[in-house]
Structure 1
Amino acid sequence: MAFQAKKKEFESEVGNKYTFQNVMNSKQAEIMDEGTNAVGKVLNTKMMPLMLKHVVVTPSGLTMDDFETWTELEEVTNAAFSFLRKGQ
Structure 2
Amino acid sequence: MAFTAKTKEFKSKAGNEYTFQNVPNSKQAEIIDNGTGLHGKVLNSNMMPQMLEHVVVVPNGLTMDDFDTWEELEEVTTEAFNFLRTGQ
Same fold (TM > 0.5) = yes
Name stretches of at least 5 consecutive residues in structure 2 with no aligned partner.
Answer: none
Matches of 2:50 and 2:76 in 1, distance apart?
12
Deviations 1:23-78 (A, max 9, x none): 00000000000000011000000000000000000000000000000000000000
Give the aligned partner of residue 48 of structure 2: 48
Give the aligned partner of residue 34 of structure 1: 34
> Secondary structure at 1:19's aligned position in 2?
strand
Structure 1 residue identity aligned to 2:16? N
> Secondary structure at 2:53's aligned position in 1?
helix
Are 2:44 and 1:57 aligned? Answer: no
Identity among equivalent positions (%) equals: 73
TM-score by length of 1: 0.99
Matches of 1:78 and 1:48 in 2, distance apart?
8
> Secondary structure at 1:52's aligned position in 2?
helix
> Secondary structure at 2:13's aligned position in 1?
coil
Are 2:79 and 1:83 aligned? Answer: no
Are 2:12 and 1:12 aligned? Answer: yes
Name stretches of at least 5 consecutive residues in structure 1 with no aligned partner.
Answer: none
What value does the CA root-mean-square deviation take over the aligned residues? 0.3
Matches of 1:40 and 1:31 in 2, distance apart?
12
Matches of 1:40 and 1:14 in 2, distance apart?
30
* Count of aligned positions: 88
> Secondary structure at 1:41's aligned position in 2?
coil
